[in-house]
Structure 1
Amino acid sequence: MGIERIVRKPMKGNRSRDTEPELAVRRRLHAAGLRYRVDYRPVPTINRRADIVFTRQRVAVFIDGCFWHGCPIHFVASRTNAEYWEPKIARNIERDAQTDELLREHGWTTARFWSHEQPDSVAAAVQAVVAPAERTEDAQPAESGKEFRADCHKHCCSCV
């Protein structure tokens, strides 16, 4: 069995959508009566996808994996092939911040959570962000261009 096959099998298990934390949050949001799009581009001209998107309220939700997005609590740098992984994770963190900025520029609110956070608290926080946008939707455009992160850390620049 070649090294490519040994590496490929575990990597295929790393899902880009429908992860357990994502599904748990989505179940709670759906049970609360919220409807959303999954793995969707909030702005079609920008090649970035959010995990959960509330299109009318212009809220994009990201549930970031601790390894892939450099969680300050749980991230442990790989000792194997570190010269590849260190810049890879740094690029992911940089791209997350850039995505938040691009979406803000287009009038979207972003909400980022770590995959280790409790689904109930994530769902409650998402509802808190989406509900005000729903209430003001008919009266006036929702206040946009905000970023929300439950645990405010290094690549969150304007928490609400």
Structure 2
Amino acid sequence: MRRTGRRDTIAELALRRALHRRSLRFLTDAIPPGTNCRRRADVLLRGAHIAVFVDGCFWHCCPGHAHLPKSNRQWWRRKFDGALRRDRDSDAELSAAGWMVIRVWEHETVEVAADRIVRLARQRRERP
């Protein structure tokens, strides 16, 4: 687990390239300003107040791809439960501070996810 990267995963890099092609500018691996949240968003759109997290299917228990390793099952179950609690806690904390949280699974089509983020960013910028 020590070798597991915290940022710049293949899925994250692909999403960032797709967003950049769509002329969005963003911060990477950043804490949303004005929050008490210590967790870092993978992509942060400051103007639209959108925090994007690219979640890996294994570590964040994707409903379609999650599996529990056969050895040391109890330990893994606690680890995954903790990750899910942290994700929900981050979502609630950021939402309370006025940020929109978007979670993208690593298996999602990058172009579809990027289009969704661009659409939401435009909507949030145009709001009164």
The aligned residue for residue 124 of structure 1 is: 115
Q: How does 1:50-69 map to 2 (within 5 A)?
A: 50-69=41-60
Give, in angstroms, the shift of residue 12 of structure 1: 3.6
1:64 aligned partner, one-letter code? D
Instruction: Quote the Cα distance in structure 2 between the aligned partners of 1:77 and 1:129.
Output: 34
2:88 aligned partner, one-letter code? A
Instruction: Quote the Cα distance in structure 1 between the aligned partners of 2:66 and 2:37.
Output: 28
Give, in angstroms, the shift of residue 53 of structure 1: 0.4
The aligned residue for residue 8 of structure 2 is: 18
Give, in angstroms, the shift of residue 128 of structure 1: 1.3
Gaps of 5+ in 1: 1-10, 141-160
The aligned residue for residue 100 of structure 1 is: 91
Deviations 1:41-71 (A, max 9, x none): 0145321111100012110001100111010
The aligned residue for residue 38 of structure 2 is: 47
Instruction: Quote the Cα distance in structure 1 between the aligned partners of 2:119 and 2:63.
Output: 25
Give, in angstroms, the shift of residue 134 of structure 1: 2.3
Give, in angstroms, the shift of residue 135 of structure 1: 2.5
Deviations 1:24-57 (A, max 9, x none): 0100100110000001101453211111000121
Instruction: Quote the Cα distance in structure 2 between the aligned partners of 1:113 and 1:30.
Output: 16
Gaps of 5+ in 2: none
Number of residue equivalences: 127
Deviations 1:60-102 (A, max 9, x none): 0011001110101001101122121101101111111111110
Larger of the two Rg values belongs to structure? 1
The aligned residue for residue 111 of structure 1 is: 102
Query: TM-score when scaled to structure 2?
Result: 0.93
Q: Could you say what the CA RMSD is over the residues aligned between the two structures, in angstroms? A: 1.2
3-state SS of paired residue (2:42): strand
Match of residue 75, structure 2, among 84, 100, 103: 84
Instruction: Quote the Cα distance in structure 2 between the aligned partners of 1:24 and 1:39.
Output: 15
Structure 1 moving runs of 4+ over 3 Å: none
